[in-house]
Amino acid sequence: MLPKDSEPLLSLRQVGVRYRLRRKIEGSRDYWALRDVTLDVHAGETLAVLGSNGAGKSTLMKVMAGIVAPDRGEYRLRSGCRVSLLALGAGFESNLTGRENALLGGMLLGLHRRTMSKRLQSVEEFSGLGEFFDQPIFTYSSGMLARLGFAVALEVDPDILLVDEILSVGDLSFQDKSLAALTGRMAAQKTVVFISHDFRMITRLCHRAVWIDAGATVASGSVGEVAAAFAARQNLERQLRAAHRVAAQPGDWGEEEEDADATPD
Nearest to 85 by CA among 190, 160, 175, 183: 160
Q: Residue 115 is part of which domain span?
A: 91-157
Structural domain count of the chain: 1
Calpha distance 120→122 (Å, rounded):
5
Calpha distance 115→128 (Å, rounded):
21
Please, which residues have CB within 8 angstroms of residue 38's CB and are 6 or more apart in sequence? 12, 13, 14, 15, 217, 220
- pLDDT reported for residue 262: 46
- pLDDT reported for residue 7: 85
Q: What is the mean pLDDT of residues 239-256?
A: 67
- At residue 151, the 3 state secondary structure works out as helix
Calpha distance 255→192 (Å, rounded):
60
pLDDT of 36-70, one tens digit each? 999 999 999 999 999 988 899 989 999 999 989 99
Residue 109 domain flag = yes
- pLDDT reported for residue 264: 47
Question: How far is CA 170 from its chain centroid?
Answer: 16
Residue 150 domain flag = yes
Residue 112 domain flag = yes
pTM score, whole prediction: 0.77
Q: Pick 190 or 33 by higher pLDDT.
A: 33
Calpha distance 227→202 (Å, rounded):
8
- pLDDT reported for residue 5: 53
Residue 110 domain flag = yes
Residue 233 domain flag = no
- At residue 47, the 3 state secondary structure works out as strand
Residue 145 domain flag = yes
Question: How far is CA 197 from its chain centroid?
Answer: 9
Residue 104 domain flag = yes
Residue 165 domain flag = no
Q: Give the side-chain half-sphere CA count within 13 A for 106.
A: 25
Predicted confidence band of residue 260 (pLDDT cuts 50, 70, 90): very low
Instruction: Note the helical H segments in the chain.
Output: 57-64, 98-108, 113-127, 142-156, 172-187, 199-205, 223-248, 253-261
C-beta pairs of 118-124 under 8 Å, 24+ apart in sequence:
119/155, 122/151, 122/155, 123/148, 123/151, 123/152, 123/155, 124/98, 124/99, 124/151
Nearest to 205 by CA among 231, 232, 228, 223: 223
